[in-house]
Amino acid sequence: MEIHFMMKWWGWGDPQKTFPMEDKPNLWSWVCNILALQDKNKISEPVSREQVILPEANINQEFLSEITSKLEANQIYTSDDERLEHAYGKSYADLFYARKGIIKKAPDIIIYPHTHDDVEFIMKSAQAHNVCVIPFGGGTNIVGGVDPRDQTMTAKGMRCIVSLDMKQMDKVISIDTQSQTAIIQAGALGPILESQLCEKGWSLGHYPDSFEFSTLGGWLATRSAGMQSDAYGKIEDMLVSLKMVTPTGTVITRTTPASSAGPDLNRFIVGSEGILGVITEATMRIHKSPEVKDYRGFLFPSFEKGVEAIKECIDKNWIPSMIRLQDEFESQLAFNMKSPKKGFEALIQKQVKKFLLATGYQKPCIMIVGFEGDLKNTQVISQEAVKILKKHRAFSLGKSVGKTWSKDKFNIPYLRDYMMDYAVMVDVAETAAVWSKLLNVYHKTIEEMKKRFAEEDNGTGTGYIGCHISHTYHTGACLYFTYATKQNPNKEMEQYYGYKKLITDTFLKNGATLTHHHAVGYEHSPWMETEVSATGLKALKAVKDVLDPKNICNPGKVL
Ligand code: FAD
């Protein structure tokens, strides 16, 4: 896999890559039909780099000269190109503004630490000079997590803002094969980290959809979830210990298998999104590189049937390493992404469709199931799990569907840029609920969003929403929604935040969480009190006040 360090400043991913529409001849006409897009020409392409004017940098000279005296020249940047690349994350709002060349605020200085000591030095200096520090991993968050938001006015004016890009701290420092742990620097991007572990026969096994461009520190700071979380857990479940540099000192937790020494500081720090300090390295649980990677596709007659099947796999403890159950709407999107079959294959497909329609699969739902691990265990689990799936009327689509999904999985995020070129608002929202509430949350969300599409003021009265279950637990599962509708001209942000409010209120009102893995940033912070209670929020603020009394760490986020 080729590794790119920076993404498009205006969009997702590799600057050389776009969504591969050419091998999906049915997709675009299907999208236009669903969203009632009249104008099929691109009408909203990003401005060129030359058209982007950044606000003037607000440099704290004393801080800059102190930093310059210790760090190398290739660790400190104030150029507009660097500032632009660190001005936004990848939320729809971020991309909307970046594509128009509107940069409301950009960090003033970009610093690339090489070591834990560098971070301690930078933080001490930032604290002394009242300079804000925003830790920057891959910049892939979609909640406004790395956007400069400081509003503090001092006698000298606004405070200088540093984006602390961690990507040069990317080493696997050591592997303890006996304990199956590895010490890893926080700035390692997914592919860099996995390739260093893989060379020695190990793997972390954390594969978020943003894997290619996100870092270990970012995953920990946002409590990220990867595709194989059913097997290996969320990132917090893989964490053994860490180091975090705060403005008032460094927190170090111990590398032990378990402990009862007071509240669990690891758990307090994961999800802190840079508001308490900078995670510089972590000891992570690792496992042997899997011998087998077996992905298969199935069809279920309904979302409910698929949910029943997942639940029984979990109850009986035959749990695949990945289960992704798409509802009927997301399955339609997936069907329209396929290249049409030809000749004999097309004939067979027609017969299968006929059979499925006659046997109750009017609204088929795709499930992709993955089994990873050593050969023997994987064989046993897959046999037993597939028996359960079939008991709940799973129709096998074979391994080719699993392979296609696995090949395409990192291409899908490029579709958002493609759609934004046609002035479409497209966003995602994810949550988690216990099994007893899950289907209610699912149905209520679809119902509310469809109602809103019908009232939409963009001249279409329509939109798309689909959902899949992406991570499962003994007590419940994560629901991941994708939705799109035509932009409402001149009211694009009002429209975006309107949908975000509707969907988030619906999650919380029906007993689900504000976010299962995308975190809080500033876009979700208005709901934090409802999520954690007023006293819970007070406790978080109190810890922040002690560790970061001047509020220099990523101000304006989470709380
Ligand atoms: P950044 O975006 O750079 O930062 C995120 C937050 O963490 C910021 O608040 C930042 O200040 C803080 N931070 C970063 N590094 C550190 C550090 N070393 N110390 C302290 N704080 C730090 N998320 C998932 O969990 N699963 C998915 O499958 C997934 N898929 C995605 C797909 C796409 C297309 C996109 C755009 C996003 C996706 N995300 C997903 C969201 C995002 O990738 C995750 O939140 C990811 O963990 C962010 O990592 P990052 O390195 O890019 O962090």
Residue 336 sits in a domain of what CATH number?
Answer: 3.40.462.40
| Nearest protein CA to atom 14 of ligand 1, as residue | 218
Beta-bridge partner residues of 541 = none
Give a yes or no: residue 185 inside a domain: yes
> Are residues 243 and 182 part of one domain?
yes
User: Does the Cβ of 279 fall within 6 Å of ligand 1?
Assistant: yes
Same domain assignment for residues 178 and 149: no
Range of the domain at 367: 292-408
Dist. CA 308 → ligand 1 center (Å): 32
Same-domain check for residues 317 and 400 = yes
> Considering the domain boundaries, does residue 281 fall inside one?
yes
What number is the ipTM of this complex? 1.00
- The CB-side HSE value for 89 (13 A sphere, CA atoms) comes to 29
In-domain check, residue 541: no
Of these residues, 232, 442, 464, 480, which one is catalytic?
A: 480
> Where residue 249 sits, what CATH number does that domain have?
3.30.465.10
* Helix H or strand E segment including 293: strand 292-300
Nearest to 7 by CA among 135, 165, 122: 165
* DSSP one-letter code for 472: E
Distances (CA, A) of 514 to 112, 432, 484: 32, 8, 20
Distance CA 149, CA 147 (A): 6
Sign for the pseudo-dihedral over CA of 452, 457, 463, 467: negative
* Residue that finishes a domain, picked among 288, 306, 321: 288
Same domain? 380 vs 296: yes
- DSSP label of 487: -
* 112 and 128 belong to one structural domain: yes
Residues 485/92, Cβ–Cβ less than 8 Å: no
Identify the CA nearest to 197 among candidates 209, 221, 180: 180
Q: Which of 344, 376, 408 is the last residue of a domain?
A: 408
Nearest to 400 by CA among 326, 343, 345, 468: 345
What is the Cα–Cα distance from 363 to 80, expressed in whole angstroms?
51
The per-residue pLDDT for 41 is: 74
* CB atoms closer than 10 angstroms to residue 259: 12
Q: Find out whether 481 and 430 touch, Cβ atoms under 8 Å.
A: yes
Does 92 qualify as catalytic in the annotation?
Answer: no
Q: Are residues 380 and 305 in the same domain?
A: yes
Ligand 1 pocket check for 205: Cβ under 6 Å:
no
Helix axes 435-455, 303-315, angle to 10 degrees: 160
- Residue 556 belongs to a domain: no
Tokens representing 315? Answer: 């109850």
Last residue of a domain, one of 408, 443, 458: 408
Sheet hosting strand 109-111, strand order edge to edge: 76-77, 109-111, 161-165, 132-136
Helices (H), 278-342: 303-315, 328-337
Cα–Cα distance between 65 and 26 in angstroms, integer?
58
- Same-domain status, 317 and 355: yes
Same domain, 316 and 384: yes
pLDDT at res. 168: 96
Ligand 1 atom closest to residue 216's alpha carbon, by position in its atom list: 51
Give the residue among 104, 59, 62 at the shortest CA–CA distance from 78: 59
Pairing of strands 424-434, 464-472: unpaired
Which residues of the chain fall below pLDDT 50?
A: none
Number of domains in the chain: 3
The pLDDT assigned to 2 comes to 53
Of all protein residues, the one whose alpha carbon is nearest to atom 25 of ligand 1 is 224
| Residue 192 CB–ligand 1 contact under 6 Å | no
Q: 109-167, pLDDT tens digit by residue?
A: 999 999 999 999 999 999 999 999 999 999 999 999 999 999 999 999 999 999 999 99
Three-class secondary structure of residue 40 per DSSP? coil
DSSP labels, 480-540? EEEEEEE--TT-HHHHHHHHHHHHHHHHHHTT--S-SSS--TTTSGGGHHHHH-HHHHHHH
Is residue 308 domain-shared with residue 333, that is, in the same domain?
yes
- 188 domain residue, yes or no: yes
Atom of ligand 1 nearest to the CA of 140: 52
Ligand 1 neighbourhood includes 518 CB (under 6 angstroms): yes
Q: Please check whether residues 302 and 279 belong to one and the same domain.
A: no
User: How far is residue 548's CA from residue 310's CA, in Å, rounded to a whole number?
Assistant: 44
Question: What local confidence, expressed as pLDDT, does residue 380 receive?
Answer: 96
Compute the residue count for the chain.
559
Residue 277 and residue 238 in one domain: yes
| C-alpha–C-alpha distance, residues 10 and 97, integer Å | 8
> Atom 28 of ligand 1 has which residue's CA nearest to it?
208
d(CA 551, CA 555): 6
Residue at 396 is within a domain:
yes
CATH number at residue 124: 3.30.43.10
- 499: in domain: no
Q: Is the CB of 504 under 6 A from ligand 1?
A: no
Q: Which of 284, 280, 276 is nearest to 113 (CA)?
A: 280
Kindly state whether residues 79 and 188 are assigned to the same domain.
no
Q: What are phi and psi of 120, to 5 degrees?
A: -60, -40
Residue 89 lies in a domain: yes
**Cα–Cα distance measured from residue 485 to residue 453, given in angstroms and rounded to the nearest whole number:** 7
